[in-house]
Amino acid sequence: MSTVLITGAATGIGNLTARALARAGHRVYASMRAPGTRNSAPAEELHRLAQAERLDLKVVELDVTSQESADRAVAAVLENAGALDVVIHNAGHLVTGYVEAFTAEEIAHLVDVNTLGVQRLNRAALPHLRGQGSGTLLYVGSTIPVTTPPFLGPYVVSKAAMDSLALVTSYEVAPLGIETVIVMPGAFTQGTDHFPKAGRPVDATGVTAGYRTLDPLVARNEQATESLFTPGTQAAPSAVAKEITRILSLPFGERPFRSVVDLTNSLVEQANSAVLEARTDFVRRMGFEEVLHVTRA
């Protein structure tokens, strides 16, 4: 079994995944911001779960907007466990609203959390993974780069950027024995804090007035998303935790590069297949075949 560090484990998919992986026998470090204060309740709940079920599950502090915090978290895992095999990038935040209503600084902050947070943790963890010649970077991305829904503009930008960052990083780490997995959840309107805690532009009264004719569409955004599911579908985010657990049960080197967990009847797998064919052909014709495959130590 693996030693796993996962971000954004206070709620939602991250919390469910930490529990599922620990129950599957992995040594799990569930990270979150401020586990001693603002996230003390979920931190304590995970601690009680670990005691009650005798799980190898610990909480560590990690704020993905801070390189120092990422460095400390990785160091703490290595000091405590003596190993780190899998890094799961899950932390993220959702915002809704008209693109023009967000200042450039607000969009930059979202990219800082959803995209650059990934880079910070990779910079903290990759020296160790490169040193041992093996490891797995697992990104909880989104189907959004394919489906691109309206009224989530800055979020779409940040998740698409995260996906691209994961992809280009995979080229460089694969020859060093580090595999990449991108799990792409579809929309989940229940079971996470994404929609209830979604951010909005801070000061956009004048801008939003100019889009008043679209307000009825925005008002039924959640309803419109829920309409994508086949009636009776249990669209629970636990499906994502289950898929991550399944993937990490597979032998190293046999895990999928992408896995779609989508219950909205979209065509994401077909789009991924077409893009993969084009990208692979392009890279091969450049003469860079070796960056497409993980080198086993």
- The total number of structural domains in the chain stands at 1
Lowest mean pLDDT among 11-25, 37-51, 147-161, 225-239: 225-239
Instruction: Report the C-alpha gap between 224 and 90 in whole angstroms.
Output: 25
Asked whether residue 21 is assigned to any structural domain, the reply reads yes
Asked whether residue 297 is assigned to any structural domain, the reply reads no
Q: Which residues contact 192 (CB under 8 A, 6 or more apart)?
A: 11, 12, 13, 237
Supply the pLDDT for residue 198. Answer: 73
Residue 71 sits in a domain of what CATH number?
3.40.50.720
Report the predicted TM-score, pTM, of the whole model to 2 decimal places.
0.95
- Does the structure show a pLDDT above 80 at 10? yes
pLDDT tens profile 31-72: 999 999 999 999 999 999 999 999 999 999 999 999 999 999
Supply the pLDDT for residue 227. Answer: 86
Closest CA to 56 of 36, 90, 88, 81: 81
Of residues 202 and 150, which shows the higher confidence score?
150
Q: What is the residue range of 269's domain?
A: 3-292
- Does the structure show a pLDDT above 90 at 204? no
Q: Which residues contact 258 (CB under 8 A, 6 or more apart)?
A: 181, 182, 183, 184, 272, 276
- Does the structure show a pLDDT above 70 at 252? yes
- Cβ atoms of 4 and 140 within 8 Å: the answer is no
Asked whether residue 243 is assigned to any structural domain, the reply reads yes
- Cβ atoms of 66 and 83 within 8 Å: the answer is no
Closest CA to 258 of 184, 174, 172: 184
HSE (side-chain half, CA atoms, 13 Å) at 151: 18
Supply the pLDDT for residue 226. Answer: 84
Residue 137 banded pLDDT, cuts 50, 70, 90: very high
- Does the structure show a pLDDT above 80 at 190? no
Asked whether residue 80 is assigned to any structural domain, the reply reads yes
Asked whether residue 282 is assigned to any structural domain, the reply reads yes
Asked whether residue 108 is assigned to any structural domain, the reply reads yes
Of residues 231 and 19, which shows the higher confidence score?
19
**N- to C-terminal Cα distance for the chain?**
18
> Residue written as tokens 């599957």?
24
